[in-house]
Amino acid sequence: MAFKLFRKLFGKNEPKEITEEFFDLYTDTYIRELAFHACVNFVANAISKCEFKTFAGGREVKGPEYYLWNVEPNQNQSSSVFLHKLIFALYRKNEALVVEHGGRLYVADDYSREAYALYPDVFRQVTVDDFTFSRVFAGDEVLYFRLNDRDVGKVLQGLYESYSKLITYGMKSYQRSRGTKGTLELDQAMSGNKQFNDRLTSIRNDEFKKFVDAENAVLPLYKGMKFQELTHKTYTNDSTRDIRALIDDVTDFTARGFGIPAQIVNGTVQDVASATDQALTFCIDPLADLLQEEINRKRYGRGAYLGGSCVRIDTSAMRHIDVLDVAAGVDKLVSSGVLCVNDIRGILGMPLIQEAWAWEHFMTKNYSSIEKLLEELKGGENDAQ
């Protein structure tokens, strides 16, 4: 029964052959991986939606570096696939390595790192898919991302082990509640008959199992046998809800380790706006800072960065924007001179207007400096006199 519940919960992805001794292991692995992948996919999807804006001398430009991060890092991956692989490696191993070869970027699948305190680190045996570089990479030649000083995955692993015991116990309780127990009375005179003992073994191993597992069945009994059921199935919907609640707890704790509000991962729709703001503040924005800092210090350097050349990851694109919902705000941003028309169209994901006036900034006559306003007031007093 527990196996049936296992398959019902996890669908077609369970191993083809499941034995009782490996059941607890598979249960723990699938629940842990489900929670982990749900959180990683959320983060990776959010980062892949962000725009990697490139600047040269303080002005936004779209050149080879922009194309590299936003469209095609290498010949086999789009930027979304590349970033998903990068984020997965970062959270799975607490670190990730990106190497450049032939003007293209690759996320390493495996490598060995030699750390030095006063010199750049050294990376050997860098492997991407089925290819291993023969060369040695210096630390200033690669992008090396490290998520935390201490791997939060190890902390979550201890939590998983504790919760897996509770979930397994809940599934076994469900199994017991669905089970049937009873007594089988036998005529003492029949117990010495070897042929009857063979039939009894067959009944116990085959017939009773089919009878208990089947939804509708008839149990054939021989003369001298009497079956009496001792317990009845006590299954209710609450028992499976309890198991689901334990699984949701694992997801909640995993999301907390990622800095993601649990309702986003669990699919709860209430207060999504606040949850999204919290996810941006405590998860996506810090991760974007980590990525762009490493990119800027390795691919641009101090001189170029101080001169206004850099990469900035725009996380505002993570939110879905409805044009009608933000119409009032758009009007204020344009009329106050904060943004031009093309700035607004870029935020909304609309194509830019290739006209000079679309890059101009406008301000309504309602806005004025305090000095000019005081001069106008003084002028009004003179006119009245």
- Residue 224 to residue 186: CA distance in whole angstroms: 6
Show the tokens assigned to 265: 């991962």
Q: Is pTM beyond 0.85 here? A: no
- The residue count of the chain comes to 385
Residue 384 phi, psi dihedral angles, 5° rounding? -70, -35
At residue 278, the pLDDT reads: 87
- Residue 150 to residue 283: CA distance in whole angstroms: 16
SS (H, E, C) 20-66: HHHHHHHHHHHHHHHHHHHHHHHHHHHHHHCEEEEEECCEEECCHHH
- Residue 349 to residue 49: CA distance in whole angstroms: 11
Query: What counts of helices (H) and strands (E) characterise the chain?
Result: 15, 12
DSSP 331-367: HHHHHTTSS-HHHHHHHTTPPPP-SGGGG-----TT-
At residue 8, the pLDDT reads: 47
At residue 299, the pLDDT reads: 96
> Are 164 and 28 within 8 A, CB to CB?
yes
- Long-range CB contacts (within 8 A, 24+) of 59-66: 59/308, 64/103, 65/299, 65/311
Q: What is the mean pLDDT of each run of 10 residues along the chain (385 residues)?
A: 46 49 53 83 93 93 95 96 96 93 96 94 96 95 86 59 56 60 65 67 70 65 68 54 66 82 78 82 92 96 95 83 76 84 82 86 74 68 51
Residue with tokens 């031009």: 340
At residue 1, the pLDDT reads: 42
Enter the DSSP assignment of 14.
S
At residue 5, the pLDDT reads: 45
- Residue 311 to residue 192: CA distance in whole angstroms: 87
